[in-house]
Amino acid sequence: MNLVTNNNNHWRIFLTICLVSLITLTGCQTTSDSAVTGGSNSEEIESPMADVTQNQSTDIDNNIMNLPKLEGKAIVEMKVKGQSITIELDGNNAPITAGNFLDLVDKGVYDGLVFHRVVTEPQPFVAQGGDPQGKDPNFPVSRLGTGGYIDPNTNSQRYIPLEIRPQYDESAEDATPPEIIYSQTTDVTPQLRHEYGVIAMARSQMPDSASSQFYFTLADLPFLDGSYAVFGRVTNGMDVVEGIAQGDRIDSVQVISGIENLKR
């Protein structure tokens, strides 16, 4: 699933086209935000996306004000196989995406969930998890990657919009961040790019279909920029991330700092 190959441009273009065309989940029929093919031996090329029902509303604008937002930064600690991964969430540049993730962390949604898709061959690509259906050990492995967070207040799945802030000089004292682009892919260079060791949201072909599934990047993946929302980065424990195998479970995720910056 990696786009870095020895045949340079032609092979890369071919794989990129395959990735884009298989942005939806090829597992089962419903919901969510991951790009899995179902089984661990699948040889199809896919991107970090998921299947969604066709009747899903895309009218995110009416709900955007009700979504959690992170105003500033926050730190969370994820434990996998007893080892720690420290993640800095960037609410300055991805307030809704980071806020959604922090809210789900605070609710304990990710505890016990499975990394249902880990792609390391032929090149490192992503380690993807966050499907709440994976908490049930009897849930079919072939269907993991089709689920998202069900909000108990609405009894329906929470979706968040695709969120991309164009690049700017964040270090400049008089820097004015450009407006965030919502609900559409873009060719502009984003402020938060798909560099090695970032965390981003998986989604389906529909831009506003991310819910709870996320992925860690195992390499620089610039071809995903502008199509998926990066919302933070691993600051410690990338060796743990690189050791994640498909089927490994998240022991726990807890907020270390910044919960006061979460607005719900």
Higher pLDDT, 42 or 194: 194
Joined together, the tokens standing for residue 122 give 């032929």
Give the global pTM: 0.82
Give the pLDDT band (50/70/90) at residue 104: very high
pLDDT of residue 64: 79
Per CATH, the number for 8-52+68-263 is 2.40.100.10
Closest to 254 measured CA to CA, from 87, 121, 95, 18: 87
To the nearest 10°, the Cα dihedral for 34, 37, 39, 40?
Answer: -80
Higher pLDDT, 23 or 116: 116
* Bond from prior residue into 177 cis (ω within 30 degrees of 0): no
Average pLDDT value for residue range 219-224 = 98
Q: Is residue 252 scored above 60 in pLDDT?
A: yes
Least confident of 12-21, 99-108, 187-196, 225-234: 12-21
Query: Domain boundaries in the chain?
Result: 8-52+68-263
Give pairs for 233-236: CB < 8 Å, separation 24+.
233/87, 233/88, 233/90, 233/195, 233/197, 233/198, 233/199, 234/85, 234/86, 234/87, 234/197, 234/198, 234/199, 235/75, 235/86, 235/87, 235/88, 236/84, 236/85, 236/86
Joined together, the tokens standing for residue 251 give 């022991």
Q: Output the 3-class SS for the chain.
A: CCCCCCCHHHHHHHHHHHHHHCCCCCCCCCCCCCCCCCCCCCCCCCCCECCCCCCCCCCHHHCHHHCCEECCEEEEEEEECCEEEEEEEECCCCHHHHHHHHHHHHCCCCCCCECCEECCCCCCCEEEECCHHHHCCCCCHHHCCCCCCEECCCCEECCECCEECECCCCCCCCCCCCCCEECCCCCCCECCCCCCCEEEECECCCCCCECCCEEEECCCCHHHECCECEEEEEEECHHHHHCCCCCCEEEEEEEEECHHHEEC
Q: How far is CA 101 from the centre of its chain?
A: 9
Joined together, the tokens standing for residue 89 give 């969430």
Give the pLDDT band (50/70/90) at residue 59: low
Q: Is residue 68 scored above 90 in pLDDT?
A: yes
Distance CA 111, CA 80 (A): 10
